[in-house]
Amino acid sequence: MPAQVTARHRKQRFVFVPGLGTDGSVYKPFLDAFRSEYDVQSADLAVRFPQKLSWQFFFSPIDRAINRVTDQKPVILIGHSMGGSVALKYAASHPGRVERVIAIAPVLFPFKRVRHRTRENLHNSLISLTGGHPLHALRIRGVIKRRTVGGRARKLYDFVDTIDLAYDLPKLRQAAILFPEHEEVTPRAHFEQVSQEFPKVRTVLVLGSHHNIALAPKRVIEAVKKELHA
């Protein structure tokens, strides 16, 4: 008879918060790299949105991921882009539930984004073709399209415009922000601002661009593992 898995021998829970308009399937190559060592869960948002978005709406899937086990020990919380913002905000609001938080290319403060869709699409295609998973890149487009129809994308972007973590960053313990050297979405000045004004938050410049974590995550995986084992 196989030995019963006890709470003491259970893998530590690793909860991932996906970026805007995505779910865990978009990050499968990244998340698979951690499954042998951690109990990996993805905090996917419900497809049905409330009339008005709130932080609690984004916190709910994290709560569900944590509550799936009875011991509810503090978890490792990792998020990307807007999901990184949610991860940081959640860790600041629920310090007893999070052992450490790592945010990859998060939105930190309000900013006006200028989008260059054609340039971004070409850049992302190059990433997936030269160092990633081309077929996976095609699947990602389908996932995002399904999850952002019916006005959901506009609601998400409007909420992103309200994000300001200046009040939350000083509350964080065991927090790290990984910022890609070729970041094309969030301003480099925000990363530098955290380095200067919030010294308790570890800031690390990593190789790659904003979308490497989904399209060609090898370098991001190495950086995250280094943080986890530091």
Q: Which domains does the chain have, with CATH numbers?
A: 10-228 (3.40.50.1820)
List the one residue out of 74, 105, 104 whose CA is nearest residue 173: 74
Q: Which residues contact 37 (CB under 8 A, 6 or more apart)?
A: 11
Report the SS3 class of residue 87: helix
Look up residue 198 and give its two tokens.
């919030």
Q: Which residues contact 115 (CB under 8 A, 6 or more apart)?
A: none
Tens digit of pLDDT at every position of the chain (230 positions): 444 444 455 789 999 999 998 999 999 999 999 999 999 999 999 988 998 999 999 999 999 999 876 677 899 999 999 999 999 999 999 999 999 999 999 999 998 765 555 555 555 555 555 555 666 665 766 676 778 777 888 899 999 999 999 999 999 999 999 999 888 889 999 999 999 999 999 999 998 888 888 877 888 999 999 999 88
Give the CA distances from residue 148 to residues 64, 165, 201, in Å, rounded to whole numbers and listed in that order.
Answer: 22, 25, 32
CB of 101 closer than 8 Å to CB of 88: yes
Look up residue 121 and give its two tokens.
């699409």
What distance in Å separates the CA atoms of residue 81 and residue 211, rounded to the nearest whole number? 9
Which DSSP helix (H) or strand (E) runs through 172? Answer: none
